[in-house]
Amino acid sequence: MDEPNATGANTGLSDDAASGLAYLTFIPAIIFLVVAPYNTNPKVKFHAWQSIFLTVAWVVVMIAVWIVAMILAFVPVVGWIVSILLHFAALIGLIVLWLMAMIQAFQGKKFVIPVIGPLAAKQAGQ
């Protein structure tokens, strides 16, 4: 028989599984913020909000990198190389951050991403 969640309801997903799944994309995060009993669970709400804010940060960072890359594109060869390296560094950094948050959530730990984590905690009511 399945073990009940911290909320006391038997939903089929543990709090840790729901928290980790919230990081797959922003879609499960939004679903967990809307569907009971997850929308009343502070742990799941925190990870869902952090996932949404991480997605927003991802878009903002990639747009900023793209703008810088467009400016660097006017510098032959060196600008192109720096642009490619900048894109690569931003992408790898964001992927590592995303994986760390997701793995920690699946393990039941609270990984607070700087700047984004406190915003998520505030939205989750913590």
Q: 61 Cβ partners below 8 Å, 6+ apart?
A: 90, 94
Residue 117, domain member (yes or no): no
Burial-class residue 53 by CB neighbours within 10 Å (0-12, 13-18, 19+).
Answer: buried
Distance CA 99, CA 18 (A): 15
Q: 37 Cβ partners below 8 Å, 6+ apart?
A: 5, 7, 9, 11
Residue 94, domain member (yes or no): yes
Task: Indicate the number of domains in the chain.
Answer: 1
Q: Are 89 and 96 in contact (CB under 8 A)?
A: no
Each residue of 86-124: pLDDT tens digit? Answer: 999 999 999 999 999 999 999 999 999 999 999 999 999
Residue 78, domain member (yes or no): yes
Instruction: Identify the weakest region by mean pLDDT among 26-30, 74-78, 104-108.
Output: 74-78
Each residue of 40-73: pLDDT tens digit? Answer: 999 999 999 999 999 999 999 999 999 998 898 8
Residue 120, domain member (yes or no): no
The SS3 of residue 27 is helix
Residue 9, domain member (yes or no): no
For residue 73, the enclosing domain spans 15-110
Residue 6, domain member (yes or no): no
